[in-house]
């Protein structure tokens, strides 16, 4: 999708046009006849939100009526959903170029609608012999949004596009080594410091979890550290981000049954999202010092693959009894968390992972699952931001009683407990390695990848969590004042 930023006068514009109509004050600017205005009023009597398509041969006009009196986050989410409806109409009309304007809008409403179009128009096309129809050119009325804000949004959406592309790519074309190389290349362009640890360095660091999961694979693991440090950060100690980078998950020797292995290319969504957060922060010069630690490997049952009953020695010296090789994500995350704590002493650590089916079953496709230890205020801010961008956060209890369920008879801790409370015990396992560092665990298993279209997301990778954490970073100074 290409973009144009210029003034648009609705009544004089010649071309396909979307007009955003929030309240009756905007009627004077509507490019409609009196009868069409009356028709619009009739449509809004029963439902203030509606989309009307009018044929203006050779062009089309789409009037998007919405309720501007709703709370801001509800209003903006309705606009994203309306954008998806408009996109469906545009595809049926073979419209590939369109302009967006309105009257009496606040910038956030314009951004929300265009954001909905951008998200909805994405599909994973690179392996298709015939590219599906997309919006080729989107023109936005420059009178309704500040140019700097517009450019910031474009840069964020670019990161969202690449996050979704990475997660959608099959492991045959994006293994740990290739992903690390790609991140290093982007980091160099943005002035983000990037360190890539190869297998020998990982062995020297004694990252027992990452090395164990990698034992069944022909591809070497990688451990990537991205550091974005602006000249005058608001935080004295870094914010650490950790993302699960299992490039493909077979389950290892505890091989996944039936069709559970389908879509496991998405098991690196946590790493892709956390890298994208760092790059978005650098793109838009956010004043927050961030370090991302990204462990990467696939989980295969080949060679001398690690097995249930193995006992691993982790980066921080903790011994872990392997109960199930399909609970591999927490093993590689544990090494990364322990490394981040020991190396950077962060003021807050957040991990993100497609970690448990239990989280997906708990809240479905409508929110990510969160838990916190010593980080109640930052998590509350995340919840507020989640409501604003509609990447919602559902908090689960994090009682230390759950530690009983992952006690081991033969080691310090075991890598999973019973099915009951599975999302929580996975988080408690990781919290062990965070020690006393304020810690938030985000499980995106239910929202990172959709098997079929959900709302304005096409089937496939969503990038869910990127807009959430970016909004969190924009308001991160609030955590400094608490």
Catalytically active residues are: 256, 330
CA pair distance 154, 118, nearest whole angstrom:
10
Note whether 245 and 351 are within 8 A (CB): no
CA pair distance 444, 233, nearest whole angstrom:
28
By the 10 Å C-beta count (0-12 exposed, 13-18 middle, 19+ buried), 48 is classed as middle
Note whether 167 and 266 are within 8 A (CB): yes
Q: How far apart are the first and last CA of the chain?
A: 41
Residue 436, token pair as written in the block: 């006393």
Q: String of b and e for 169-201 (b: at least 16 CB within 10 Å)? A: bebeebbbbbbbeebbebbeeeebebebbebee
The count of other CB atoms within 10 Å of the CB of residue 27 is 14
CA pair distance 236, 347, nearest whole angstrom:
8
* Percent composition of the chain: helix, strand, coil (DSSP 3-state, to 5): 40, 20, 40
CA pair distance 123, 142, nearest whole angstrom:
27
């Amino acid at each position: 999708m290409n973009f144009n930023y210029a003034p648009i006068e609705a009544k004089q514009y010649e071309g396909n046009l979307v007009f955003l109509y929030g309240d009756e004050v905007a009627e004077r600017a509507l490019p409609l006849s009196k009868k069409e205005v009356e028709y619009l009023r009739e449509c809004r009597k029963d439902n203030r939100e509606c989309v009307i398509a009018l044929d203006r041969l050779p062009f089309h006009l789409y009037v998007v009526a919405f309720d501007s009196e709703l709370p801001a986050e509800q209003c903006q989410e309705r606009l994203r959903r309306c954008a998806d409806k408009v996109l469906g109409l545009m595809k049926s009309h073979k419209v590939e170029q369109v302009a967006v304007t309105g009257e009496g809008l606040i910038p956030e409403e314009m951004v929300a609608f265009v954001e909905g179009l951008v998200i909805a128009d994405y599909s994973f096309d690179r392996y298709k012999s015939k590219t599906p129809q997309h919006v080729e050119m989107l023109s936005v009325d420059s009178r309704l949004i500040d140019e700097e804000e517009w450019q910031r949004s474009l840069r964020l959406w670019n990161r969202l596009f690449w996050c979704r592309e990475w997660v959608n790519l099959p492991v045959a074309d994006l293994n740990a080594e290739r992903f690390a190389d790609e991140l290093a290349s982007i980091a160099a362009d943005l002035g983000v410091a990037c360190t890539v640890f190869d297998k020998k360095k990982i062995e020297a660091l004694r990252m027992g979890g990452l090395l164990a999961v990698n034992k069944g694979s022909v591809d070497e693991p990688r451990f990537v550290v991205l550091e974005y440090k602006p000249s005058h950060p608001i935080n004295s100690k870094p914010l650490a981000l950790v993302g699960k980078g299992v490039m493909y998950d077979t389950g290892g020797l505890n091989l996944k049954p039936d069709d559970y292995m389908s879509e496991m290319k998405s098991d690196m969504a946590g790493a892709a999202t956390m890298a994208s957060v760092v790059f978005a922060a650098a793109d838009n010069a956010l004043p927050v010092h961030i370090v991302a630690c990204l462990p990467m490997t696939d989980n295969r049952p080949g060679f001398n693959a690690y097995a249930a009953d193995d006992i691993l020695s982790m980066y921080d010296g903790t011994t872990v009894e392997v109960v199930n090789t399909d609970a591999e994500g927490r093993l590689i995350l544990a090494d990364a968390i322990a490394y981040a704590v020991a190396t950077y002493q962060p003021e807050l650590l957040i991990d993100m992972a497609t970690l448990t089916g239990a989280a997906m079953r708990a809240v479905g496709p409508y929110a990510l699952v969160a838990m916190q230890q010593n980080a109640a205020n930052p998590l509350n801010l995340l919840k507020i931001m989640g409501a604003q961008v509609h990447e919602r956060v559902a908090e689960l209890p994090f009682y230390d009683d759950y530690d009983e369920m992952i006690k081991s008879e033969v080691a310090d801790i075991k890598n999973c407990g019973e099915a009951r409370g599975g999302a929580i015990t996975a988080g408690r396992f990781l919290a062990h390695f965070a020690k006393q560092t304020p810690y938030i665990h985000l499980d995106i298993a239910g929202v990172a990848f959709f098997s079929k279209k959900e709302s304005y997301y096409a089937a496939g990778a969503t990038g869910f969590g990127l807009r959430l954490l970016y909004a969190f970073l924009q308001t991160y100074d609030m955590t400094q004042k608490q």
